[in-house]
Amino acid sequence: MNVIDLFSGCGGLSLGFQQAGFHVALGIDNDAAALETFRRNHKDSVGASVDLFDAAAMDRIEELLEGQKVDVIVAGPPCQGFSLTGPRKFDDPRNKLYLRVFDAVRRFKPQGFVIENVRGMASLYGGQVKDEIIRRFTELGYNVVWKVVCAADYGVPQLRHRLIFVGIRRDLGTFEFPKAKLTPDHYIGCRDAIGDLPTRVDDLGAEMDSYQEAPFSDYQKLMRGNAVVLANHVGTKHTEHVKNVISMVPPGGNYKDLPPGVGDSRKFHVAWTRYHPDRPSNTIDTGHRNHFHYALNRVPTIREFARLQSFPDDFVFTGTKTQQNRQVGNAVPPLLGQAIAEQLSKYLKG
């Protein structure tokens, strides 16, 4: 089954579909660093930079496919335009990137599609944007369902909520979202996700290093897989002041738990957040340096963030540290993608 991934980033959703047995033919994005990571880790796929604003974008994608059929289209398009233009201006140029998903489905007529976005889109303008998306895909001949899902339900050690649309061709039925694999009292916590990795307190480490301890949880064993080299596990050098402030935050706490007058430089809802060892992390962002290790007085490394996103250890991120943080934070957790893909495969022909 062939998949094309629009707005692929580094390829988290693509990896999930690969883990479910699909072949990702194309990953399309305009972020050069993210595409380099995509190409490094998806060796049987083409990672291409295509200007989706260009009217000839679909022609270019068809050229890249070289005659391959498209069974599934997956996409995580930006939706900032909708918040500016409102539901009555759905065709506003600022929404063109989102509208390209319609163009791709109309052009390649896949058996199904998956669109991922922030959960706020479900309620934007009283749900009118969501309803318009459903209406348009329905007119193209698809049964469309949506749901706000939590990644932790599917084995990801992170409380990440995302809006997922799934459409399948009308003759194939109506998609039902997969049941949760874990209940909240059995979610994977941060210690079981990253507790086997080197501390990176006295030694910041290198881009390619080695493990120092054996895994002690099933999740750690899953993430290590066959990896023999520990990549992207480089620590951050903090000032003594910052380390001192972090040390005062209890597990699961934030700036509200600091003494009066301490940490006043950051006061917003995620400031000075320390992960809890026995709970999933908060949503991984793109590197704002406001989240801290559950036990160590430092921000997590790229590898720790990647583990919390469910990227296996043999998935290597390239580019600068800032670029790597953005790639990890923008990605769809692969285990969530895999759960959706496995369920979707039950409906597809071939």
Distance of CA 203 to the CA centre of its chain: 29
Handedness of CA 315, 320, 325, 331 (dihedral sign): negative
Q: How far apart are CA 311 and CA 216, in angstroms?
A: 18
Extract the tokens encoding 280: 């999933």
Q: Which of 23, 52, 116, 139 is nearest to 340 (CA)?
A: 116
For 100, which DSSP code?
A: H
DSSP 283-316: ---SS-S-EE-SSSSSPPPHHHHHHHTT--TT--
Q: How far apart are CA 197 and CA 179, in angstroms?
A: 31
Q: How far apart are CA 53 and CA 72, in angstroms?
A: 22
116's enclosing H/E stretch is strand 112-118
Catalytic one among 10, 79, 150, 190?
79
Would strands 72-75 and 112-118 be described as parallel, antiparallel, or unpaired?
A: parallel
Q: Which of 8, 2, 23, 33 is nearest to 116 (CA)?
A: 8
Extract the tokens encoding 154: 């599917």
Q: How far apart are CA 333 and CA 190, in angstroms?
A: 15
Catalytic site includes residue 79: yes
Amino acid sitting at position 207: E
CB 195 within 8 A of CB 217: yes
Q: Which of 242, 293, 301, 239 is nearest to 266 (CA)?
A: 242
The residues assigned a catalytic role are: 79
